[in-house]
């Protein structure tokens, strides 16, 4: 270990432990964690992770689809599509990469490393898909599904919360329409601050009751934050709400 950083061999060992998979073909993991910027500075030294990323993207979509189909038998196709989108967007993939410690094993070009490439969501998301592609090639689809299942299972315990984060206004409206056959109303309570930095205060009203309010730098952002609060209020009431 030098300069407080974990050496790459140790990082790869830790990554395999986090994956729950030891590569029979270690070169696949090495390739999956090789950013194009590294290869640009080290010609004739293997391949970057773009081909594995391409494969991993397809594996991810199918694995997530199978898992959601089995885990949520009561959900309609449209809802399953929304959930899958939330679980496979770039930031979600970057979060999975962080859980697995992939940034410690990423090989980056010097410039990319200096500019924070190891923490960039796009680089982490690409690395995760590439690693998933590597797992698929090394151990098959069952191993890939098992990995995805472990990573997405926490989010599936609160699907409403997951979708609320993605599109809080849409989630709130869907909930109120389905449960109460009504839609919420957004009221601008006040606008303050200078023209170049306004602050919007918005309240969410449903059936004459104010459920939540929020303040933000744009009306849309304030509405989204207020919608998150309103949905939480309604979900907390649900176990004892006979409506």
Active site residues: 57, 129
Chain length of the chain: 243
Please give the angle made by the CA atoms of 123, 127 and 132, to the nearest 5 degrees.
155
Alpha helices (runs of H) in the chain, residue ranges in sequence order: 8-19, 26-32, 36-41, 50-71, 77-88, 90-100, 110-114, 121-139, 141-156, 159-166, 168-180, 219-237
Burial class (CB in 10 A: 0-12, 13-18, 19+), 83: buried
Asked whether the beta carbons of 106 and 130 are under 8 A apart, the reply is no
Q: Residue 2 pairs with which residues in a beta bridge? A: 5
Torsion sign, CA atoms 30, 32, 33, 39: positive
Q: How many angstroms separate the most distant Cα atoms in the chain?
A: 68
Nearest partner of 133 among 38, 29, 47, judged by Cα: 29
Q: β-strands 199-206, 209-216: how paired?
A: antiparallel
Torsion sign, CA atoms 53, 55, 56, 61: positive
């Amino acid at each position: 270990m030098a300069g407080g950083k974990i050496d790459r061999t140790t990082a790869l060992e830790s990554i395999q432990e986090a994956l729950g998979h030891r590569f029979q073909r270690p070169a696949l993991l090495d390739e999956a964690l090789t950013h194009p910027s590294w290869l640009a500075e080290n010609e004739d030294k293997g391949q970057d992770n773009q081909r594995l990323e391409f494969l991993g993207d397809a594996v991810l979509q199918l694995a997530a689809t199978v898992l959601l189909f089995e885990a949520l038998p009561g959900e309609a196709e449209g809802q399953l599509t929304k959930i899958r989108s939330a679980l496979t967007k770039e930031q979600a993939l970057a979060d999975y990469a962080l859980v697995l410690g992939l940034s410690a094993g990423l090989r980056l070009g010097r410039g990319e490393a200096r500019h924070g490439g190891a923490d960039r969501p796009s680089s982490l998301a690409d690395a995760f898909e590439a690693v998933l592609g590597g797992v698929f090639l090394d151990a098959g689809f069952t191993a890939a599904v098992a990995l995805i299942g472990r990573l997405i299972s926490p989010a599936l315990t609160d699907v409403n919360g997951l979708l609320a984060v993605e599109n809080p206004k849409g989630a709130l409206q869907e909930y109120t329409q389905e449960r109460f056959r009504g839609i919420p109303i957004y009221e601008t309570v006040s606008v303050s601050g200078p023209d170049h930095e306004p602050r919007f205060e918005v309240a969410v009203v449903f059936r004459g009751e104010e459920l939540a309010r929020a303040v933000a730098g744009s009306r849309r952002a304030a509405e989204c934050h207020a919608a998150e609060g309103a949905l939480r209020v309604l979900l907390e009431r649900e176990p004892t709400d006979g409506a």
